[in-house]
Amino acid sequence: MALDLTGKTAFITGGARRIGRATALALANAGVNVVIHYKRSREEAEQLASEIQSIGPRAWVIQSDLGMNEEVETLIDRASGISGPLDILINNASMFPRSSFDSVTLEEVIHSVEVDAWAPFALGRRFAEKTQTGHIVNFLDTRIVINYDWSHVAYMAGKHLLGLFTRMMAVHLAPGIQVNAVAPGLILPPEGKGLDYLESLKGELPLKRIGSPEYVADAVLFLVRSEFITGQVIFVDGGRHLDEVGRG
């Protein structure tokens, strides 16, 4: 039986825009209060908070740079300080800079690991220290199954490490905390590209169509409503990971 989420409180990193925004709205429509983290998108975060409050639940915004470890270490306490106890942690925030195999630097890899892997791990650990029971959902990438994205090497290093951390957290934080992940595929184009970029790639997918942020949000809701799932990854990618496994 699915859990009733009414009155629960979720903290979502990078929640002001794109897939994070869709996830925050899906949670709100399920009766969840939402703390929206942002780095630079203050206006979008505040607009989203107003939209959530018009739906019914409460909403707050909080700023932090996930690349600054001293800020990460205090972020869960800051969030629960404004909202009260947290029940759900959604580690959605990510960075997606280009870095090729031939040009990637150690500094780029370290920064990706800090934002895409260490921050979710540290936030999850502190969340579990303060929460007896709850859910954590980490955002991965569909291409973790084949290891490669030759144009985003540092990013993939961070996402692979987050995949490992997800499994370790699921074991170590049980039985009170359930830890799972979603791995989106062709959902939104990268910053600076249009939908035509995704349209040019959809023919490679088994389902031959691109997705939407709402599909990812639905998967997140399924996981945070579950009572007997942990350590799993849901690929919301139209089957892309199946095809790339074959080609990898």
Give the per-residue pLDDT at 248.
41
Task: Indicate which residues carry an active-site annotation.
Answer: 18, 141, 155
Q: Which domain holds residue 140?
A: 9-247
CATH number of the domain enclosing 93: 3.40.50.720
Number of helical (H) and strand (E) elements in the chain, helices listed first: 9, 7
Which regions in the chain score pLDDT beneath 50? 248
Q: Which residues contact 221 (CB under 8 A, 6 or more apart)?
A: 5, 26, 27, 30
pLDDT at 120: 98
In DSSP notation, 25-72 reads: HHHHHTT-EEEEEESS-HHHHHHHHHHHHHHSS-EEEEE--TT-HHHH
Q: What is the pLDDT of residue 129?
A: 97
- Token match 């490669």: residue? 148
Q: Is residue 3 part of a domain?
A: no
pLDDT in tens, 191-244: 778 888 889 988 988 899 999 999 999 999 999 999 999 999 999 999 888 876
User: Is 167 inside any structural domain?
Assistant: yes
Query: Is residue 2 assigned to a domain?
Result: no
pTM as predicted: 0.95
Which letter does DSSP use for residue 144 in this model?
Answer: G
- The span from the CA of 199 to the CA of 195, in Å, is 6
- Residue 127 to residue 80: CA distance in whole angstroms: 9
Would 212 be classed as within a structural domain? yes
**pLDDT for 22:** 98
| CA gap 130, 30 in Å, rounded | 23
Sign of CA dihedral 197, 241, 212, 6: negative
Please indicate, yes or no, if residue 84 is contained in any of the structural domains: yes
Specify the pLDDT at position 1: 65
The predicted-structure confidence for 178-198, as pLDDT tens digits, reads as follows: 999 999 999 988 777 888 888
Residue 162 lies in a domain: yes
CB of 245 within 8 A of CB of 146?
yes
Residue 1 lies in a domain: no
Helix (H) or strand (E) holding 111: helix 106-113
Spatial distance between the Cα atoms of 23 and 217, rounded to a whole number of angstroms:
4
Counting the structural domains of the chain, the total is 1
Identify whether 4 is part of a domain: no
Fill in the DSSP letter of residue 181: E
At residue 149, the pLDDT reads: 81
